[in-house]
Structure 1
């Protein structure tokens, strides 16, 4: 009997080890399939071309060199790009924000950009709290949409966008005051 006990103990320790190995393999498999929603998701994009949109609306294209846990990004070979609608260029002096514009209307997929402008920026550090969107760019397809757009002078495009942002900001401030008078905050 005493000869059987050590063998059953050995078998139970082997079973425990096999069970532990299986759990580790399952955990590794689980992590491989898990989509990271934190800055850990950026690991695959390091040393690749990315597009970054910031809170103020600027769009930057560049090579992601490094980042930290706050999503502070260091980009190299950066270009800033502005897209303009036909109405933006033609009616830049008469631009007025639409009242009660819905998010659906503002983000319509069929909005046709007809113009663009870009300027080289160089190396750029973007603070993580300002990042709205970051996505990897397929360098084989990056320039395809630009074929259908007309390039305009950077200063002209920047002046138009700056004016639009100022007017929209004033409009939003006035609208916030109107809403607060009615009891909305």
Structure 2
């Protein structure tokens, strides 16, 4: 089990009139705790959850999430997101990044689902890369409609990633990015309840 503290903010630009200045809304402070990490793609101590500098997203980094030809790897993370009273959030986009080396005739597939406990999937990515391929890859999954976490209730955020590779054992797909191995980024929108 791993824990991380994440800050997120909503900055509402208020332009005070000459006659009256309006008070600025307080930024929400968020606590992020990984409740469970399960799967062959994320053995113990191989994934880390952190915030990003502008506090409007958080990311999950994997260091051992790699599938080779004829196999698959998966990882399910359950993340408890603590937000202050009066606020809620939505994950409006999830970005996955990695690297693939696929021989001629091989194929690699990334399948990602994300949802709040008790709700249907909020975001999904399903992309296949065909060999020959030797390059970085990225999937961007944007929500067609925002699903906000319930106000005043606790709902865990679930991330389920699967990598599959068909072809010779020399082919592989990894879920990581060149920049500090940030693999999956959740982009957030905030609103007051």
Asked whether the two chains share a fold, i.e. TM above 0.5, the reply is no
> Which has the larger Rg?
1
Task: State the TM bucket, normalised to the shorter chain.
Answer: under 0.3
Larger strand percent: 2
**Whose relative contact order is higher, 1 or 2, with alpha carbons under 8 Å and at least 6 apart?**
2
